[in-house]
Amino acid sequence: MVREMQLNNTLNDEIIDRLHKGDREVLIDLYKEHEDMIKKFVRENNGKDEDAEDLLQDALVVLWQNSRKPDFKLESKPSTYIYAVVKNLWLKQLDKRKRVVSEEYIKPHQHSETPINNDMDLALVRNMLGEMGEVCQQILLMFYFDGFDMKTIAKANNLANSDVAKSKKHQCLKELASKVKSKFTSTDFYGV
Amino acid sequence: MEFDPRIERYFDFELSENEREDFLRELELNSELKTQFDLYSLVIEGIRSEGREELKEYIKSRVDEQSTTTQTNLWFYAAASVTVLLLGYFAIYKYVETGSFKESADYITLKDEKSDRVKFWKNKKLGKSILPDILFGNKSDSTNAENHWTDSLLAVYSEPNVETQAEVDADETNIETTNPDYEVASDDQDKGTYQMNSRMSVSEGESAAPVMARPSASREKSKKSLASDTVELTRRTISTSRVVAIHLPGLSENVAPLGKSMPSNTQKVNPARFTIIQQEARNEKPAIECQGNNIFLINMGSESPLMYEIDGNFYLELGPKNIISIKLNVARVEKPKPITDKKIIEKIQPK
């Protein structure tokens, strides 16, 4: 029992280490390792293999992003963690599907009061991001999505140091915000 | 309104607890700040959305790629297994047939009497499995002959001395036992035949039994077929004690031995025997070394060298316009140069 725990810890440390280093291949290894398990779970819960594949990808993205948070610890086995995330995501999706069906029949045009960035807006931002220079794209993605620190970002983008990287990131973010703002009417965003 | 740097610091988790509280409080009261905040919120969420999609796409493509590779590998292993099984089958077949695993190379020598050219042709198209029948007519006949197909070296036979005998006992067994390097051919005099020598062991004392062969029934047709098969085959008037067919592509006739009757004027051929051995040796210059009947090609890389005898001289064809003269009385020739004699080149590689 103790030996099994030690083995798990070693395995987890290795996975976390690879995640911290930004080794994306660890996600592929985890995907292959858990594919059957997740497909079985989803099939048993009214889903298809395609749903399972999508969920597993989502779960791994969550793991990737969370792994760089300072307080992240993989205390359970990776399979337990992934299973928990997938289960959570799948239940949310099922719930969402139910709500969509009921809303369509009961309140087809109800608006949420909470300002949520809708898919159209996000797609626009992504388009604008795609129009930016390669370095800007890399810096913004590495910082806001991957969660890398400025030192790593500086190194990866051949920038002198983390201060230069931070300054560059600020410029890029401001540029992207301006681009996005220009696509909206003056009443949507102003003052930027 | 000027850009408020606190917005970026807020999203970058750089505000202290107090700063954060003040900022959120102000956000509720200041609509312009709230608008800026919403814009940055959207932009950063958009960046994260792009990152998620890109990473999902990466995972999907890598997994697909690996499953494709696995499938390809499965096909590869399946094909490899079949190949191994087939090779195993043929190895066993050969063992059963001949008791030797060494048989691997088939070479045919074709000689033109008029030009006295002998071309040694590595037989790629004729499989070993059919050669014995082709060369020796049938299996019972090929028993002795098959024993000579026992190594992978290219053995070259030439026939510099042709003797004529009025009558020779042409019993096949006799010929092979009494004079292994001896060949008797019989055929209708003045009618062209094709001579085909086949290969043998190079081990000392082992016999070589070149076999005369020719397409008999439709000679002209056969000649065309052979010629079109890039084999330089020219006619020769010889006699042979046995007539077997050469089964080359396009040649349908398979002529069984015609028996042991000998025509009156049988030619006796006493072939000199050479073995061409290709060697790759580090730190050695290209060279040709003749040791008795063994010709060593050292670092002279050629896929299947062909040997010719023209007017008593020997030539090795290593490639286009790469013909080397072989001096049998010279032990070693370093950096052998291709011959420039146009007549010889023209003979060996006609335009």
Domain CATH code at residue A38 = 1.10.1740.10
Q: Do A145 and B46 touch (CB under 8 A)?
A: no
The secondary structure of residue A186, as a DSSP letter, is: T
- Predicted confidence (pLDDT) per residue in A104-136, tens digit: 554 444 444 344 567 778 888 999 999 999 899
Same domain, A127 and A71: no
Asked, for residue A191, whether it belongs to a domain, the answer is no
Residue B86: band (very low, low, confident or very high) from pLDDT cuts 50, 70, 90? low
Averaged pLDDT of chain B: 54
Asked, for residue A189, whether it belongs to a domain, the answer is no
Which of residues A74, A106, A138 is at a domain's end?
A: A106
- Predicted confidence (pLDDT) per residue in A36-86, tens digit: 999 999 998 888 899 999 999 999 999 998 888 877 777 778 888 888 899
Q: Which residue has the higher pLDDT, B82 or B146?
A: B82
- Predicted confidence (pLDDT) per residue in B113-124, tens digit: 444 443 333 333
The pLDDT of residue B84:
63
Q: In this structure, are strands B117-122 and B107-112 parallel, antiparallel, or unpaired?
A: antiparallel
Asked, for residue A68, whether it belongs to a domain, the answer is yes
Give yes or no for residue B320 having a pLDDT over 50. Answer: yes
Same domain, A101 and A138: no
Q: Does A126 touch chain B (CB under 8 A)?
A: yes
Average pLDDT on B183-192 reads 31
Same domain, A63 and A127: no
User: What ipTM, to 2 d.p.?
Assistant: 0.84
Q: How many CB pairs under 8 A join A and B?
A: 108
Give yes or no for residue A26 having a pLDDT over 50. Answer: yes
Q: Does B68 touch chain A (CB under 8 A)?
A: no
Q: What does the alpha-carbon distance between residue B270 and residue B340 come to, in Å, rounded to a whole number?
A: 31
Same domain, A148 and A56: no
Residue A12: band (very low, low, confident or very high) from pLDDT cuts 50, 70, 90? confident
The torsion region of residue A115 among left (phi > 0), alpha (psi -120 to 50) and beta comes to beta
Asked, for residue A188, whether it belongs to a domain, the answer is no
Residue B55: band (very low, low, confident or very high) from pLDDT cuts 50, 70, 90? very high
Most confident segment among B66-80, B166-180, B266-280: B66-80
Spacing of C-alpha B185 from chain mean position: 31
| B150 residue type, one letter | T
Tokens of B277: 């051995």
Residue A185: band (very low, low, confident or very high) from pLDDT cuts 50, 70, 90? low
Taking CA–CA distances from A62, the nearest residue in chain B reads: B52
The pLDDT of residue A59:
93
Domain residues for the domain of A143 are 119-182
Q: What does the alpha-carbon distance between residue B225 and residue B228 come to, in Å, rounded to a whole number?
A: 5
Same domain, A126 and A96: no
Q: Please compute, for residue A74, the number of CA atoms within 13 A of its CA located in the half-sphere on the CB side.
A: 28
Asked, for residue A85, whether it belongs to a domain, the answer is yes
Taking CA–CA distances from A150, the nearest residue in chain B reads: B12
Which of residues A83, A106, A129 is at a domain's end?
A: A106
Most confident segment among A182-191, B116-125, B279-288: B279-288
- Chain A residues with CB under 8 Å of B12 CB are 143
Torsion sign across C-alpha atoms B224, B225, B228, B230: negative
Same domain, A64 and A142: no
Asked, for residue A112, whether it belongs to a domain, the answer is no
Which of residues A68, A85, A106 is at a domain's end?
A: A106
The fraction of chain B above a pLDDT of 90, given in percent, is 12
Residue B47: band (very low, low, confident or very high) from pLDDT cuts 50, 70, 90? very high
Q: Which residue has the higher pLDDT, A7 or B49?
A: B49
The pLDDT of residue B41:
92
CB nearest A192 (choices: B3, B59, B62)? B3
CB nearest B36 (choices: A25, A146, A191)? A191
Domain count, chain A: 2
Torsion sign across C-alpha atoms A152, A142, B58, A10: positive
Same domain, A44 and A78: yes
Same domain, A97 and A31: yes
The pLDDT of residue B97:
41
Give yes or no for residue A149 having a pLDDT over 80. Answer: yes
The CATH number for A150's domain is 1.10.10.10
Same domain, A97 and A178: no
Q: Do A27 and B49 touch (CB under 8 A)?
A: no
Q: Does B53 touch chain A (CB under 8 A)?
A: yes
Same domain, A152 and A95: no
Residue B138: band (very low, low, confident or very high) from pLDDT cuts 50, 70, 90? very low
Helix B31-98 with A119-130: angle, nearest 10 deg: 70
Give yes or no for residue B93 having a pLDDT over 50. Answer: no
Same domain, A75 and A138: no
Q: Which residue has the higher pLDDT, A113 or A96?
A: A96
Average pLDDT on B268-293 reads 62
- Chain A residues with CB under 8 Å of B55 CB are 24, 27, 60-61, 64, 145
Asked, for residue A143, whether it belongs to a domain, the answer is yes
Asked, for residue A130, whether it belongs to a domain, the answer is yes
Q: Do A117 and B1 touch (CB under 8 A)?
A: no
Residues A150, A139: contact at Cβ < 8 Å?
Answer: no
Same domain, A16 and A86: yes
The pLDDT of residue B315:
76
Most confident segment among A139-143, B145-149, B301-305, B313-317: A139-143
